[in-house]
Amino acid sequence: MTALDMDRIREALSDDFAVIDYTESTGSTNTDLMQAEKVADGTVLLANEQVAGKGRLGRQWVSPAGSQLIFSVLILPESLEHLGTLPLAAGLAVTDSVEKAVLKWPNDVQIDGKKLCGILAEAGPVGEAFKSAPKTEVSKAEVNKAEINKAEINKAEVNKAEINKAEVAPKTQSANPPSARVVVGMGINVTLTREELPIEAATSLALEGLDTDRTQLAITVLKNLRHRITQWEQQDPQLMADYRKVCSSIGQEVRLEAPTGDVIGTVEGVADDGRINVGGEYYSAGDVIHLRPADN
C-alpha cells in the first residue's frame, strides 16, 4: 500500500478546490462533510479508510485500508432545481479518468460489466440547523457536458490545455446565498483482490491491469469532477451528450426495478433531465439490470 501524497495532490488541485483535507480513518467522508459546522464551497476530504462507507439505497461499501481511492466533495449550490443530475455528472468524471470505464444508468461505473466505483450524493440544509434536519439521498437523474479526453490513469496529469482554469476554478462569492450543502462521495476500487471485493460483479484497477497510483488517480478524477460540477452548475447541454456516449444501458434490453414495479424493455435513451426511457416510458429512479436474450 502506497500512501497518498497529499502535498502533490494539494499543489495539483490548488486552483480547483478551496480546501483539501485528509484523514487516515473515518466512518464516512460523506457524513463528516455533511456534519461539519463550518464549510466552504469546494471542500474535499480524502481518507485512507472508511469503516462505515455507504452507497445508494443504504448499501454498505467497506474495504481494507489503502485499497480504494476514497473522497467526498462539498459544494454549496445556489439552486437545487437540477440536483438529480449531479450523481450522473459525478459518474461521468470517473469515466473521463479511467480507461475502458462506462456508465450503467444512472451512475454505476463499470468495466466489462463489473462495478469499479461506488458514488453517493447527499443534500442537507446549510448551517447549524442542518444537524437536526434530515439529509436526502440525491435521486439519479441527469447530466451536462465536457470534452475532457479520456485519460489512462497511468498517464501523467490531466492535460491542463483541456480544462480552462477559469472554468474549473472555485466559484467567486455570489450575491445569492447557497440553498443547501451537497456532498458527492466516491470509493474507487484500486488494489482490491478478487477475494476482497464485496460482490462478485465488481472489479478493481489492479484486476483490470490498470495503474494503481492513488495519488495520480486522485488528481485526475478530482480535476475531471471539478469540470463536470462546473458544467452541472451552468447547466451546460453538452454534459448530457457526453453522458450518452458512455452510457452502456442505451440500446440494451433491461429489467428496471422501479419503485412502482419491475419493467422489462429496451432502453431507448436518456432524457436531458437524466430520466431513462425504457420502452417509450420515462423513469427517474430504479435499478437497471442488463439482460441477455435468455434472461427475459
Q: What would the DSSP string read from start to end of the chain?
A: -PPP-HHHHHHHTTTT-SEEEEEEEES-HHHHHHH-SS--TTEEEEEEEESS-B-GGG-B----TTSEEEEEEEE--S--TTGGGHHHHHHHHHHHHSTT-EEETTTEEEETTEEEEEEEEEEE-SSGGGGGSPPEEPPP-------PPP--TTSSSPPTTTS-HHHHSPPPPPSSPPS-EEEEEEEEESS--TTT-SSTTB--TTTTT----HHHHHHHHHHHHHHHHHHHHHT-THHHHHHHHHBTTTT-EEEEEETTEEEEEEEEEE-TTS-EEETTEEESS-EEEE--GGG-
pLDDT digits (tens, 9 = 90+) for 27-73: 999 999 999 988 899 999 999 999 876 655 455 656 789 999 999 99
Better-scored residue on pLDDT, 148 or 233: 233
pLDDT for the residue numbered 59? 57
Give domain 4-125+175-247's CATH architecture: 2-Layer Sandwich (3.30)
Q: CB–CB of 62/53 below 8 Å?
A: yes
Confidence of residue 127 (pLDDT cuts 50, 70, 90): low
> What pLDDT shows up at residue 139?
45
Q: Which of 74-78, 95-99, 168-172, 186-190 has the lowest mean pLDDT?
A: 168-172
- Among 82-91, 165-174, 190-199, the minimum mean pLDDT is found in 165-174
- Spans of all domains in the chain: 4-125+175-247, 248-295
Which top CATH class is 248-295?
Answer: mainly beta
Q: Which of 193-202, 241-250, 287-296 has the lowest mean pLDDT?
A: 287-296
Share the mean pLDDT of the chain. 84
Per-residue model confidence (pLDDT) at position 136? 53
The predicted model scores a pTM of 0.82
At 66-124, the pLDDT tens digits run 999 999 999 999 888 889 899 999 999 999 999 999 999 999 999 999 999 999 999 99
Q: Which residue has the higher pLDDT, 287 or 64?
A: 287
Pairing of strands 102-104, 108-111: antiparallel
Task: Look at residue 274 and tell me whether its pLDDT is greater than 90.
Answer: yes
What is the average per-residue pLDDT within 205-230?
98
Judge whether 4-125+175-247 and 248-295 match in fold.
Answer: no
Whether a cis peptide bond, with omega within 30° of 0, leads into 259 is no
Compare 153 and 123 and report the one with higher pLDDT: 123
Where does the pLDDT of residue 175 fall: very low under 50, low under 70, confident under 90, or very high at 90 and above? Answer: low
- Overall average pLDDT of the 19-33 stretch: 96
pLDDT of 225 strictly over 80: yes
> What pLDDT does 52 receive?
77
How far apart, in Å, are the Cα atoms of 257 and each of 118, 264, 280? 19, 9, 16
